[in-house]
Amino acid sequence: MTKWVYTFGNASAEGGAVMRNLLGGKGANLAEMSSLGLPVPPGFSITTEVCTYYSKHGDTYPEDMKPQADEAMAGIEKIIGSKFGDPDNALLVSIRSGARASMPGMMDTVLNLGLNDETVIGLAKASGDERFTYDSYRRFIQMYGNVVLGLGSDLFEDILDTHKHDHGHTMDIDLIGEDWKAVAGKYLVMVEKELGEPFPQDPQEQLWGAIGAVFSSWMNKRAITYRKLHDIPEEWGTAVNVQAMVFGNMGDDCATGVCFTRNPATGENAYYGEFLPNAQGEDVVAGIRTPQPLTIAEKKITGSDLPSMEETLPKLYDQLVSVRAKLERHYKDMQDMEFTVQKNKLWMLQTRTGKRTAKASFKIAVDMHDEGLIDKAEAVRRVDPAQLDQLLHPTLDPKAERTVLAKGLPASPGAASGKVVFNADDAEAWVGNGEKVILVRIETSPEDIGGMHVAEGILTTRGGMTSHAAVVARGMGTPCVSGAGDLRVDYTAKTLTAGNVVIKEGDIITIDGSSGEVMEGLIPTIQPEMSGDFARLMEWVDEFRTMGVRANADTPADAKMAREFGAEGIGLVRTEHMFFDPQRIIHMREVIVAKDETQRRAAVDKLLPYQRRDFVDLFAIMDGLPVTIRLLDPPLHEFLPHTEEGMAEVAKAAGTDVAAVKARAAQLHELNPMLGHRGCRLGITYPEIYEMQARAIFEAAAAVVKAGKSVKPEVMIPLVSLKKEFEILKEAVEKMAAEVMKAEQVKFDYLVGTMIELPSAALRAGEIAKTAQFFSFGTNDLTQTTFGLSRDDAGPFIQIYLDKGIMESDPFITIEQDSVGELVRIGADRGRQTRPDIKIGICGEHGGDPATVHFCQKVGLDYVSCSPYRVPIARLAAAQAALGVEAETNA
Residue 798 or 871: the one with the smaller Cβ distance to a second copy is 798
Cα torsion at 828, 831, 836, 840 (round to 10°)?
Answer: -50
Alpha helices in 218-280 (DSSP H): 221-230
Is position 797 an interface residue for a second copy (rule: CB under 8 A)?
yes
On whether the CB atoms of residues 836 and 772 are closer than 8 A, the answer is no
Contact criterion met (CB below 8 Å) for 412 and 515: no
Minimum separation from the CB atom of position 462 to a second copy (A): 9
Query: Among 96, 545, 574, 764, which residue sits at the site for a second copy (rule: CB under 8 A)?
Result: 764
Q: Looking at beta carbons only, is 186 or 600 nearer to a second copy?
A: 600
Residue 562 binding a second copy, by CB under 8 A: no
What does each C-alpha distance from 673 to 38, 677, 726, 790 come to in angstroms? Answer: 65, 7, 21, 11
DSSP per-residue letters across 2-17: ---EEEEETTEES--G
Is residue 792 at the binding interface for a second copy, with CB under 8 A as the rule?
yes
What is the rounded distance in angstroms from the CA atom of residue 419 to the CA atom of residue 437?
Answer: 4
The residue count for binding a second copy (CB under 8 A) is 47
Quick one: which of 167, 504, 642, 724 contacts a second copy (CB under 8 A)? 724
The residue within the footprint of a second copy, chosen from 805, 832, 834, 890 (CB under 8 A), is 805
The set of residues, in sequence order, having a beta carbon less than 8 Å from that of 63 and lying 6+ positions away, is none
- Does 802 bind a second copy (CB under 8 A)? Our answer is no
270 is a site residue for a second copy (CB under 8 A): no
Do β-strands 508-512 and 415-421 pair in parallel, antiparallel, or remain unpaired? antiparallel
In this chain, which of 126, 648, 660, 807 binds a second copy, going by CB under 8 A? 807
Q: Which is nearer to a second copy, 623 or 803 (CB)?
A: 803
Q: Does position 813 bind a second copy by CB under 8 A?
A: no
Indicate the residue type of 302.
Answer: T
Segment 430 to 449, residues that bind a second copy, using CB under 8 A: none
For residues 230 and 259, the answer to whether their CB atoms sit within 8 Å is: no
**In the bound complex, what is the minimum distance in angstroms from residue 443's beta carbon to a second copy?**
10
As measured in angstroms, the least distance from the Cβ of 424 to a second copy is 19
Q: Is 51 a catalytic residue?
A: no
Find the binder of a second copy among 241, 785, 852, 880 (CB under 8 A): 785
**Count of CB atoms situated within 10 Å of the CB of 64:** 12
DSSP one-letter string for 463-497: --TTSHHHHHHHHHT--EEE--TTEEEETTTTEEE
Which residue's CB is nearer to a second copy, number 548 or number 811? 811
Question: Of 16-24, 156-164, 798-806, 840-848, which part binds a second copy (CB under 8 A)?
Answer: 798-806
Position 681 contacts a second copy (CB under 8 A): yes
Check 843, 846, 856, 866 and give the catalytic one: 843
Rg (Cα) of the chain, in Å, rounded?
33
Give the nearest distance from C-beta 758 to a second copy in angstroms: 4
Residue 713 CB, shortest distance to a second copy, in Å, is: 26
The reply on whether position 763 binds a second copy by CB under 8 A is yes
Residue 642 sits in the site that holds a second copy (CB under 8 A) = no
Report yes or no: 293 and 274 within 8 Å, Cβ to Cβ.
Answer: yes
Q: Which of 653, 684, 741, 746 binds a second copy (CB under 8 A)?
A: 684
Determine, following the binding rule CB under 8 A, whether residue 734 of this chain makes contact with a second copy: no
Q: Least Å distance between CB 620 and a second copy?
A: 35
Beta partners for 628?
Answer: 714
Q: Which is nearer to a second copy, 311 or 734 (CB)?
A: 734
Residues 89 and 321: their CA atoms lie apart, in Å, by 31
Q: How far is the CB of 447 from a second copy (least distance, A)?
A: 14
Nearer to a second copy, 255 or 496 (CB): 496
Contact partners, residue 354, CB within 8 Å, separation at least 6: 260, 261, 262, 264, 333, 334, 335, 336
DSSP state of 552: E
Q: How far apart are the first and last CA of the chain?
A: 44
Residue span binding a second copy (CB under 8 A) among the ranges 144-152, 156-164, 186-194, 723-731: 723-731
The reply to whether 677 sits near a second copy by the rule CB under 8 A is yes
Q: Is 790 in the site for a second copy (CB under 8 A)?
A: yes
Q: What is the DSSP track for 208-228?
A: HHHHHHHHHHTTSHHHHHHHH
Q: What is the DSSP string of 379-418?
A: HHHHS-HHHHHHHTS-EE-TTS---EEEE-EEEE-SEEEE
Catalytic one of 369, 393, 468, 854: 468
CA distances from 82 to 85, 507, 581 (A): 9, 69, 81
Q: Which residues pair with 273 in a beta bridge?
A: 259
Minimum CB distance to a second copy smaller for 514 or for 784: 784
Strands (E), 129-267: 238-244, 255-260
Name residues contacting a second copy, limited to 814-853 (CB under 8 A): 818-820, 822-823
Minimum separation from the CB atom of position 757 to a second copy (A)? 7
* 781 is a site residue for a second copy (CB under 8 A): yes
Give least dist CB 685 to a second copy, A: 5
- Binding part of the chain for a second copy, among 183-191, 322-330, 651-659, 671-679 by CB under 8 A, reads 671-679
491 lies in the site for a second copy, by CB under 8 A: no
Cα 600 to Cα 580, 594, 607, 718, distances in angstroms: 18, 5, 11, 21
In angstroms, what is the minimal distance from the CB of 695 to a second copy? 22
| CA dist list (Å): 685 to 5, 505, 674 | 75, 44, 17
Pairing of the two strands 12-13 and 292-293 = unpaired
Q: Which residue among 806, 833, 858, 891 contacts a second copy (CB under 8 A)? A: 806
Question: In the complex, which residues of this chain contact a second copy (CB under 8 A)?
Answer: 670-677, 681, 684-685, 719, 721-722, 724-725, 728, 757-760, 763-764, 781, 784-790, 792-794, 796-797, 800-801, 804-807, 818-820, 822-823
For the annotated catalytic residues, the residue numbers are 468, 843
